[in-house]
Chain A
Amino acid sequence: MSVRRRLGFSAAFLLALIVAALFADWLAPYPAGLEHRRLPYHPPSSIHFFDAEGWRGPFVYATTMHFDEYQRRIYEEDLSQAYPLRFGGLRFVSVEEPASLFLLGADARGRDLFSRILYGARISLSLGLAGAFLAAFAGWAVGCISGYYGGLTDQVLMRVAEFFIMIPGFYFLLALRSALPPELGSWQVYALTIGVLSLIGWGGVARVVRGMVLQIRQQDFIQAGRILGASDLRILRTHVFPHTLPYLAVLLSISVPSYIMAESALSLLGLGIQEPDVSWGSLLSDALSMAHLHLRPWILSPGILICLTAWCFNRLGDRLQKETEA
């Protein structure tokens, strides 16, 4: 059964997004950092298919900018020459200079937003997924040990987990990030962000998993496993884990968007991913002005993508829950 039919549109969309992020070097019309200094805040390019003579295939015109009487930027198409879109080659789609292909417009420095979103997806998605997985795994492990062994171990581990649950996550994130030097290498920032995000999230998972394990542990089939000589690890792996899997699957689906948004928030505030790396959050930091809504609405497209991704993950979680309930 195809992925689409079993898990729906959401799964298909997310899969497409992941593939697109992986192949950003090819799918994006421009490298992430390529500036078109003469075309700041260029609106999304109009792609034409017909001209005076009829069908010509997809093409664009070169554009020039001037200011109008209100100091607004106006881009005009130079109809003298058509530049057809080229498919294949180094990049999936490209266009010859001096024409430009801004599928979702350009930012202040004339960088193509569509390309930057694709490249940004790499960091945002991977960070969200990694953070969620790490938190889920750590929480699961602690919850299992706590629930299975009980006693002092349980008490200590749960107090630790509760401590982390208690901390207001986002402020903790900011505080921790601020405490560290602002100039960190991009990989360090990346790893740090994943670490910090997981640190906030694992506590809640641990507590829920512990509750589940406490209940599962009482089951006769677990007792039977112990009498049959299975080691604790074997029982955790073969009995407890499959029974906690439905919860974990749903949890992951639902928590990934939170991690993506947490990263976006960090980067938005300039505490996360820094230039020259790009994430959806850092892209949104360019959009922090009301003027954009009116004059350059395309600047908000990373936000729409974050919402769409979050929505798809939540839908995926719902579908997974229905599937695993069987």
Chain B
Amino acid sequence: MPQEMFFEFEGVSRTFTVRGGRAQTFHALAPLTCGFRRGVSCALVGESGSGKTTLARLLTGLLSPSSGRIRIEGQPQEQALHDRRRPYARRVQMVFQNPYLSLDPKWNIRSILEEGLFYLSAAERHSRACRVLEQVGLPAHYASRRPSALSGGERQRVAIARALAVEPDFLILDEPTSQLDVSVQAQILTLIQSLKPVLQGGILWITHDLALAARVAEVLLVLREGKLVEAGPCLEVLGHPRETYTRQLLASIPVWPPRGGGQ
């Protein structure tokens, strides 16, 4: 029976010790208690240093919490990470910010797509790679190319395809379009929106762009300096922000027509 909450955070925090000179403790994420409902697309909005990347890493299991517990579909994350019957990689996947750095330049596209599929036979790997390539709208002959032959937008599609190949339940997107041109951004956003039915567990968008969050997410979480400042349905938070910081963020975004008259 599917759990209502896909991810649950109970007092999860993360600190880093910065070495050099005096050892300092950097509180990347303050104790956070929240839940990510199944099947919902969330946007995590924050400026640099807000802890949004840290949170993403915690979800992927690359980082472990300094305190608190994370549960995935009710199961403790430490257990899930070592669960051989349901490998974590097939439950949670991530697309990185910079498509120029997230693909190994020495690999060809086929190998990149098949990287997570070592548990399948060669034929199955091949067919799945072809399928995801088509799913993201790239031609089949790209499989033999190297990342350097592809544009930024195409590389990001490959990164998305790579994540989809293992058929995850939950997908995390870390600023997936910030390195791309505006015209390409729209295509990528549409693509990911179309994948929503496939990602049963939900989608988490990490961004600093409130306008983008408004376009793609149902729920909005606002982080500031490691603390969750505001959370709620996207349109509600953007329309009637309760916190000063959220209001400040909203006021900072250039809009058209400009506030206080146009030119």
Contacts and interface: CB of A to CB of B under 8 A. Distances in A.
**Direct A–B contact in the complex, CB atoms closer than 8 angstroms:** yes
Interface of A: 219-221, 223-230, 234, 239, 242-243
Interface stretch (B100-108, B194-202, B214-222): B100-108
A229 B98 contact: no
A220 B166 contact: no
Interface residues of B, number: 24
Nearest to A225: B115
12 contacts: A223-B96, A224-B162, A227-B89, A227-B94, A228-B89, A228-B115, A228-B116, A228-B162, A229-B87, A229-B89, A229-B90, A239-B104
Nearest to B115: A228
A227 B93 contact: yes
Given A239-B104, A242-B106, 17 more contacts: A220-B96, A220-B98, A220-B101, A221-B101, A223-B96, A223-B102, A224-B94, A224-B162, A227-B62, A227-B93, A228-B115, A229-B89, A229-B90, A229-B118, A229-B166, A234-B118, A243-B106
A171 B81 CA distance: 51
Contacts of A230: 115-116, 118
Contacts of A234: 118
B9 interface: no
A229 B116 contact: yes
Contacts of A225: 115
Contacts of A243: 106
5 interchain residue pairs of minimum CB distance = A229-B89, A228-B116, A220-B102, A221-B104, A220-B101
A239 B111 CA distance: 11
Contacts of B97: 220
B207 interface: no
Nearest to B92: A227
B91 to A, nearest CB: 10
Contacts of A221: 101-104
B88 A229 contact: yes
Interface of B: 60-62, 87-90, 92-94, 96-98, 101-104, 106, 115-116, 118, 159, 162, 166
A143 B91 CA distance: 33
Contact of B60 (A219, A227, A239): A227
B118 A224 contact: no
Per DSSP, are chain A's interface residues mostly helix, strand or loop, or mixed?
helix
A61 B109 CA distance: 69
Contacts of A226: 62
A239 to B, nearest CB: 6
Per DSSP, are chain B's interface residues mostly helix, strand or loop, or mixed?
loop
A262 to B, nearest CB: 34
Contacts of B115: 224-225, 228, 230
Contact of B102 (A224, A229, A239, A242): A224
Nearest to A245: B106
Residue from A226, A228, A239 with most neighbouring chain B CB atoms (10 Å): A228
A7 B118 CA distance: 36
A229 to B, nearest CB: 3
A234 B116 CA distance: 11
Contacts of B89: 227-229
A228 B96 contact: no
A224 to B, nearest CB: 6
Contacts of B116: 228-230
B100 to A, nearest CB: 9
Nearest to A230: B115
Nearest to B174: A220
Contacts of B104: 221, 239
B93 A223 contact: no
A223 B62 contact: yes
A9 B83 CA distance: 56
B137 to A, nearest CB: 21
Contacts of B102: 220-221, 223-224
Residue from A219, A221, A225 with most neighbouring chain B CB atoms (10 Å): A221
A39 to B, nearest CB: 59
A224 B96 contact: yes
Contacts of A228: 89, 93, 115-116, 162, 166
B130 to A, nearest CB: 18
A219 B101 contact: yes
Nearest to A228: B116
A226 B62 CA distance: 8
Nearest to B93: A227
B55 to A, nearest CB: 15
A227 B94 CA distance: 7
Contacts of B101: 219-221
Nearest to B101: A220
Contacts of A219: 101
A257 B88 CA distance: 49
A273 to B, nearest CB: 41
B30 to A, nearest CB: 24
